[in-house]
Structure 1
């Protein structure tokens, strides 16, 4: 085990940094002493270094499980820019000469990136078993709990994968996880709580001003959005629950303002998504109208505001998304726009049409094609192929339905608060309340109409000050 001086020297040697961010040193120490580790560090906390530095200090390769191609590509590009060539991102359909070449190249890789779906491929597992693997990293580990049952069930195979790879040292990374989600993550990857070192830092972002605007109808909501984005300085993200509306609103904002706006969602081609992301990072775009597909891996320090046009389905996702604002520590804003009835759309997004027992059993017996299971047939076919019985499957989805309903009720409670929004979020994540005044619209109800010089004075006098830069002194002065 290296001492701290050696770790700081390694940090400087490989990355050019002289200091660790909060939580990084504790996580690296835990890994280098052989402890499986769950690191819950805030968005923008430098989580990629947590597996990259140990990779250079441990023999063998690091396997990084990641949910999105764009997120993996971003990490690959960063490693390449730092001069690291031993990087491989598994991609493709698992067949053909190019695929076989990827598998052969595993032996020479230091960093291997792959999605859970590709890691369910037996050929990939055999190739990984043939190399020395020093660390298994599961990035965005909350997806194990959030997505596993009813969206990307391959996350449920990570426990089996870990066993097939001879239980390597494991690092789980996330920015948001309630106590229940932390327990669920460990259970689903087959780790007992006493086998894991937990490094956790607060989800609180004291430089984010939190607000909710309730509007009477969608016309008023559009007008409120236009007012916000044309008067807030700097770059921003607007989140939508619908791909179509993200595209339509980007066009509408271009027509009704002088802002440089583009849409981003999973229905766009990879080339178009990459172009929009790069333009946003390079300051060629001021505003992105996006679905939740945009954000993971977006390390842009000067995003000044995040607006949710539709309700998020849970507070975990909401905190992840607003955490993309103000990474430079400067004053930024998170606004949720709400019309009565919006919760119905959020509820629909978490519902899965479940096939009847008769239909499921007829597909199981080969009397109907798998497409007969409905719009989500691939999801149900996954469980069918992994020998789940109908009653067992129905119970899984029933539990997931209850969890999703509870999470949405917490979002609704956040909307109607009469006490501090920040305190509510911290309590949700099992954290103690902190003393911070004038941090949300509850104790600063004139935030939409009055200059917030009193806010600045109050925050500067608080125990945990928020630093305002000159450009943003009137950030919230929307009069």
Structure 2
């Protein structure tokens, strides 16, 4: 069995680092003791190093189930850039020819990144199974609980897929999980006895601020005031793609630095270009929906502002975790206008099937054999997997109520006059730093921001930037065959 000293030697050999971050060594030790592991580590804690080093040492195939195309591309490009050429993302972006190539050469890869939907492909699944994977990784594992029931239901199949793969050693990674979500992840994966590695989720270098405004016009003015005052780069999150576009345009017209929108309606090329320009500081501010940020490996983001109330405290904590990953001070700001939560309530109502919709489908499922409506596709998934009508209708009612409770809790955080970090700690059952002047504010002011002494702007270095873009683009071009 590998010792801690051997792990340290491998760490230095593979990465140049001489020390592990909190939770990394414990997770690796558990895996090398053949323990299925749920690791809850804060954003920026180097979760990917755990499975990367496991693959290097074991020389077994590592299958990483990942929720987002951009996240998979980033992880493959990062491995390629650091000299690991045996990594590939099997995604819908590949041509039929490239998919055939990857599938026929799977034995040549050490790391395979794949979505839960793609993993259900029978031919590809059989090929992966034949290679006897050494480690199955569920990255952003909270998606099993938060996305699986009513957004990405294929996440609910991962437990059965794992069993069908031969029950390989499994690592589940996340930065945000309440005790209830932890239990739900393990139950849905069929790993109720999984070993838990839990480090502090507190990001004590982040100041938590909220600001209540009376109108949309005041909110936009307040946003511009904060963006002007804050060091860059930063991210502004929206619940509306339309608003992300409109505010990005306003900010571009107001300030001399680059601002761009990022959301799912942009082409993959535009998203990639925007992301790379932000990574190299050509763009100083991104106006984004939640499609941006998960897995973004940029450590000098100084602020995250939410223009709209997120759906849950888990989403909020995940998204503000983009800031201050270099350990230097950062700030998270939530702007709130009364009834902002109606946006999230409407999104919830429009995504969860009603009892009438469930009944309509079950009365005549053949009518919906080819269906594009998201809600009926969701009902079809559960129908095809044997869920009884009444049970499903009750389940969706419970999900709707659960979402409404989460949104109300998010509003409570926004208007809370006592310590916000303490409320976050209570929600996650986590120990947080004691309240002080660097902790939080319920009525954020420019004077408070100034007193935080945030680091100065990150400035794009043209020559270095050009080199980095070259290397990044080359990594993307040769994802498949290097």
CA contact (8 A) 1:241 1:291 kept: yes
State the distance in 2 between where 1:251 and 1:181 align: 38
Give the drift of 1:357: 4.7
Matched position secondary structure for 2:113: strand
CA contact (8 A) 1:209 1:332 kept: yes
Report the counterpart of residue 402 of structure 2 in structure 1: 403
Report the counterpart of residue 280 of structure 1 in structure 2: 278
Report the counterpart of residue 163 of structure 2 in structure 1: 163
State the distance in 2 between where 1:441 and 1:44 align: 21
- Alignment of 1:415 onto 2:408: no
- Alignment of 1:360 onto 2:361: yes
Give the drift of 1:107: 1.7
State the distance in 2 between where 1:206 and 1:39 align: 20
Report the counterpart of residue 184 of structure 2 in structure 1: 184
Report the counterpart of residue 381 of structure 1 in structure 2: 380
Report the counterpart of residue 335 of structure 1 in structure 2: 333
State the distance in 2 between where 1:330 and 1:27 align: 26
Instruction: Please list every run of 5 or more consecutive structure 1 residues that lacks an aligned counterpart in the other structure.
Output: 457-467, 473-479
Give the drift of 1:91: 2.1
Cα 1:97–1:258, aligned 2, differ >3 Å: closer, same or farther? closer
State the distance in 1 between where 2:255 and 2:93 align: 43
CA contact (8 A) 1:230 1:259 kept: no
CA contact (8 A) 1:214 1:337 kept: yes
Cα 1:270–1:374, aligned 2, differ >3 Å: closer, same or farther? closer
1:346-405 deviations in Å (ceiling 9; x for gaps): 1112222424354212432x245553x955222222222222221121122122112212
Instruction: Give the counterpart of 1:313 among 311, 314, 318.
Output: 311
Instruction: Give the counterpart of 2:322 among 324, 327, 338.
Output: 324
Cα RMSD between the aligned structures? 2.0
Report the counterpart of residue 252 of structure 2 in structure 1: 254
Report the counterpart of residue 8 of structure 2 in structure 1: 8
1:117-166 deviations in Å (ceiling 9; x for gaps): 00111112111111021000000000000000100000001011100011
State the distance in 2 between where 1:390 and 1:112 align: 37
Report the counterpart of residue 240 of structure 1 in structure 2: 238
State the distance in 1 between where 2:46 and 2:401 align: 34
Matched position secondary structure for 1:336: strand
Give the drift of 1:233: 1.4
Within-5 A mapping of 1:4-403: 4-92=4-92, 96-192=96-192, 195-351=193-349, 352-354=352-354, 355-364=356-365, 366-367=366-367, 370-371=370-371, 374-403=373-402
1:394-439 deviations in Å (ceiling 9; x for gaps): 1221221122122112111101212111111111100235323113
TM-score (norm 2): 0.90
Cα 1:426–1:113, aligned 2, differ >3 Å: closer, same or farther? same
CA contact (8 A) 1:76 1:87 kept: yes
Please identify, of 18-27 and 376-385, the stretch whose mean Cα deviation from structure 2 is larger: 376-385
Cα 1:14–1:214, aligned 2, differ >3 Å: closer, same or farther? same
Cα 1:357–1:419, aligned 2, differ >3 Å: closer, same or farther? closer
Give the drift of 1:442: 3.7
Cα 1:415–1:451, aligned 2, differ >3 Å: closer, same or farther? closer
1:301-350 deviations in Å (ceiling 9; x for gaps): 11111000000000001001111101111111100001001011111122
CA contact (8 A) 1:360 1:390 kept: no
Cα 1:120–1:451, aligned 2, differ >3 Å: closer, same or farther? closer
1:45-81 deviations in Å (ceiling 9; x for gaps): 0011010001111142000000011100111011111
Q: Which has the higher contact order (CA 8 A, sep 6+)?
A: 2
Matched position secondary structure for 2:100: helix
Give the drift of 1:201: 1.1
State the distance in 2 between where 1:441 and 1:35 align: 39
State the distance in 2 between where 1:215 and 1:451 align: 18
Matched position secondary structure for 1:48: helix
CA contact (8 A) 2:323 2:331 kept: yes
State the distance in 2 between where 1:357 and 1:7 align: 52
Matched position secondary structure for 2:47: coil
State the distance in 1 between where 2:362 and 2:449 align: 64
State the distance in 2 between where 1:439 and 1:407 align: 27
